[in-house]
């Protein structure tokens, strides 16, 4: 990953100091670099060490970082990677605009790679990510949201970039299209599982953490998979309480709602 971080730092150039400051702030905050790792691992599995692999690994991390900057503004989040979000530290406008900078820098780097299929896959992926986020917005406060609708959103907003990361390696290596398709299926499945577990882990801490994360999601009207599973197993009275909380973003009965999540085994159901 050092080689990828080297490219990332090389390409974070700007004549505008605030661009560098905000980009460095989020990029150096200790992200896991999962998408670059996936691209490099698939490259390795294919026995390919194409010279552009580190550039594309940096590209997917820039796109991921741009989406995080925008997402934190949309969600009005205050914590990211264990520290204040960029919007909390610098304000919404610098966060959105530096997100735009990282996104367009990623496209400049893609052009350097000079491979039309790479451009196709990444432009398609970013389009789908944005659509997924808009769909999530439309789904807010809807208690009738089911597992299929939840999966449609996370396949777009999260899994699509995992899918693109996994399929870029065979594209660079010039592998047959069946290999590219198999890698795409793998990346999509990995990304979907990753988002499900991310949502479950949010509710798995102690009572205080469950209360905070569940309260935040309900306030924002986010209907996560554990909430959908809880609704399915809840008694009619519990369903009524939970539905009202989803519709109104009402977190008045937090203790009772936390109990519904526990009593219905919603976290175990979501995991399976």
| Residue 105 in contact with ligand GRG, rule: CB under 6 A | no
Alpha helix positions (H), the chain: 2-10, 17-27, 34-45, 53-75, 86-90, 92-113, 116-139, 147-154, 160-173, 177-201, 207-220, 225-233, 236-248, 254-263, 266-271
Closer residue to ligand GRG, CB minimum distance, 88 or 250: 88
x/- track of binding to ligand GRG for residues 165-204 (CB under 6 A): ------------------------------x--x------
- Applying CB under 6 A, among 32, 47, 178, 206 the residue interacting with ligand GRG is 32
- How many residues contact ligand GRG, by CB under 6 A? 20
Q: What angle do CA 179, 181, 184 make, to 5 degrees?
A: 110
Closer residue to ligand GRG, CB minimum distance, 195 or 264: 195
> What CA–CA distance (Å, rounded) separates 180 from 174?
9
209: which residues sit within 8 A by CB, 6+ positions away? none
C-beta of 51: minimal distance to ligand GRG in Å? Answer: 25
Which one of the spans 6-14, 70-78, 165-173, 228-236 is the region binding ligand GRG (CB under 6 A)?
A: 70-78
C-beta of 156: minimal distance to ligand GRG in Å? Answer: 9
CB 60 within 8 A of CB 164: yes
| Residue 160 in contact with ligand GRG, rule: CB under 6 A | no
| Residue 270 in contact with ligand GRG, rule: CB under 6 A | no
C-beta of 232: minimal distance to ligand GRG in Å? Answer: 24
CB 54 within 8 A of CB 130: no
- Applying CB under 6 A, among 9, 21, 31, 197 the residue interacting with ligand GRG is 31
Closer residue to ligand GRG, CB minimum distance, 31 or 215: 31
Helices 225-233 and 254-263 pack at an angle, to 10 degrees, of 80
151: which residues sit within 8 A by CB, 6+ positions away? 192
| Residue 70 in contact with ligand GRG, rule: CB under 6 A | yes
| Residue 125 in contact with ligand GRG, rule: CB under 6 A | no
| Residue 157 in contact with ligand GRG, rule: CB under 6 A | yes
CA 197, 189, 64, 91 torsion-angle sign: negative
The token pair at 164 is 């693109």
By CB under 6 A, name the binding residues for ligand GRG.
31-32, 34, 66-68, 70-71, 74, 81, 99, 103, 126, 129-130, 133, 157-158, 195, 198
């Amino acid at each position: 990953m050092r080689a990828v971080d080297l490219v990332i730092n090389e390409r974070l150039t700007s004549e505008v100091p605030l661009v560098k400051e905000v980009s460095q702030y989020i990029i150096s905050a200790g992200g896991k670099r999962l998408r670059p790792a996936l691209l490099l691992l698939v490259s390795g599995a294919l026995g390919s060490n194409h010279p552009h692999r580190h550039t594309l690994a940096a590209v997917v991390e820039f796109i991921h970082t741009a989406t995080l900057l925008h997402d934190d503004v949309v969600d009005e989040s205050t914590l990211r990677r264990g520290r204040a979000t960029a919007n909390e530290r610098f304000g919404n406008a610098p966060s959105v605009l530096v997100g735009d900078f990282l996104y367009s820098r990623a496209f400049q780097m893609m052009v350097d790679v000079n491979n039309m299929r790479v451009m196709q896959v990444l432009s398609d992926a970013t389009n789908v990510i944005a659509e997924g986020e808009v769909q999530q917005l439309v789904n807010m406060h809807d208690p009738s949201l089911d597992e299929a609708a939840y999966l449609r959103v996370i396949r777009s907003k999260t899994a699509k970039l995992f899918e693109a990361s996994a399929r870029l390696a065979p594209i660079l290596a010039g592998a047959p299209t069946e290999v590219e398709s198999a890698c795409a299926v793998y990346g999509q499945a990995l990304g979907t599982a990753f988002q499900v577990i991310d949502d479950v882990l949010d509710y798995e801490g102690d009572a205080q953490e469950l209360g905070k994360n569940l309260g935040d999601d309900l306030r924002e009207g986010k209907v996560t998979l554990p909430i959908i599973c809880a609704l399915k197993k809840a008694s009619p009275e519990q369903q009524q309480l939970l539905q009202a909380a989803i519709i109104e973003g009402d977190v008045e009965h937090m203790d009772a709602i936390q109990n519904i999540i526990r009593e219905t085994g919603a976290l175990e159901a979501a995991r399976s």
